[in-house]
């Protein structure tokens, strides 16, 4: 691929943030090079590449100055030397507010994933600083908006099929769902904003509501009436054992259910101050 230092490389571009980010770049007349492991119909515009293969990355990544990394964060630190050699001097990458929420998870698999993510954050920041790369780290809350998530979209699909949704206890834990398009806009706004260099930001949604209200909002978006059904914890335990036999429900665990009664709130005031972050209310 020819050198183009005015282009922006977007890795992991096939995810839900990339779904909104690529059109935003086009609207602003900016050149973008999207990268994904998956093949796409627009083969002329997409670079199909597995970033876990550093040797392939060295060979095929283009020479650019800016990168937005939407893929798994732990893929990035091993690539930073190569990216630096390719001319990258500015990177925006994504982590998650889960690094604060799930560190003490009782689910061992979930805890291991979060520990890897926390380590990837440290490696990313330290390596960028040693290479004089201007980095910014975004930690979104619950992402929704493109029908690719395992939160809002998953709940919506369950409601559509079953016309009810189980709830444990009062379900009063606070949530701040954030639309993927607002995160895409944050990338655009922060990319050349020097105030965001070397900073980490929690990016929450524009509305805080408790989990029961969150579910009701999703239910209201359905064509048919949906009932929220109180279920004892022991029934949830049994139900999860049965559901997890299906690959579609493997990601579920009891810790997720218990968190419906815990507050998971994060301020985005610093992002608003530094680059005008202004997320929408929760409208599924």
Instruction: Map out the domains of the chain as residue ranges.
Output: 8-145+176-206+266-275, 152-173+209-261
Can you give the pLDDT at residue 268? 98
The pLDDT of residue 39 is 66
- What is the distance between the alpha carbons of residues 186 and 182, in angstroms, rounded to a whole number? 6
Comparing 118-132, 183-197, 221-235, 257-271, the range with the smallest average pLDDT is 221-235
What is the pLDDT at residue 45?
74
Do strands 66-69 and 90-94 pair parallel, antiparallel, or not at all (unpaired)?
parallel
Measured from the Cβ of residue 102, the count of other Cβ atoms closer than 10 Å reads: 22
* Domain 8-145+176-206+266-275 part of CATH 3.40.50.720: yes
Kindly tell me if the per-residue pLDDT of 276 is higher than 90: yes
pLDDT class for 5, splitting at 50, 70, 90? low
pTM: 0.92
Query: What's the mean pLDDT when you consider all of the chain?
Result: 92
pLDDT level of residue 116 (50, 70, 90 thresholds): very high
Interhelix angle 211-220/152-162, nearest 10 degrees: 60
Binned at pLDDT 50, 70 and 90, residue 1 comes out as very low
The stretch 153-179 carries a mean pLDDT of: 94
């Amino acid at each position: 691929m020819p050198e183009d230092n005015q282009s922006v490389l977007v890795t992991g571009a096939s995810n839900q943030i990339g779904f909104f980010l690529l059109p935003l770049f086009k609207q602003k007349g900016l050149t973008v090079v999207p990268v994904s492991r998956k093949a796409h119909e627009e083969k002329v515009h997409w670079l199909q590449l597995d970033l876990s293969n550093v040797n392939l990355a060295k060979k095929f990544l283009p020479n650019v100055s800016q990168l937005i990394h939407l893929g798994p964060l732990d893929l990035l630190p091993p690539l930073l030397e190569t990216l630096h050699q390719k001319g990258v001097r500015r990177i925006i990458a994504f982590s998650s507010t889960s690094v604060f929420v799930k560190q003490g998870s009782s689910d061992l698999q979930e805890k291991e994933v979060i520990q890897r993510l926390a380590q990837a954050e440290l490696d990313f920041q330290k390596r960028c600083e040693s290479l004089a790369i201007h980095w910014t780290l975004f930690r979104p809350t619950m992402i929704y908006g493109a029908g690719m998530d395992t939160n809002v979209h998953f709940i919506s699909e369950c409601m559509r099929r079953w016309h009810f949704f189980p709830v444990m206890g009062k379900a009063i834990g606070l949530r701040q769902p954030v639309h993927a398009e607002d995160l895409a806009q944050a990338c655009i706004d922060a990319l050349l904003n020097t105030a965001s260099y070397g900073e980490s930001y929690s990016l929450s949604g524009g509305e805080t509501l408790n989990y029961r209200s969150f579910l009701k909002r999703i239910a209201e978006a359905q064509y048919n009436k949906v009932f929220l059904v109180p279920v004892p914890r022991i029934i949830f335990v049994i139900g999860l054992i049965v559901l997890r036999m299906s690959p579609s429900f493997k990601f579920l665990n009891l810790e997720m259910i218990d968190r419906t009664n815990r507050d998971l709130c994060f301020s985005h005031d610093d992002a608003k101050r530094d680059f005008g972050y202004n997320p929408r209310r929760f409208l599924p």
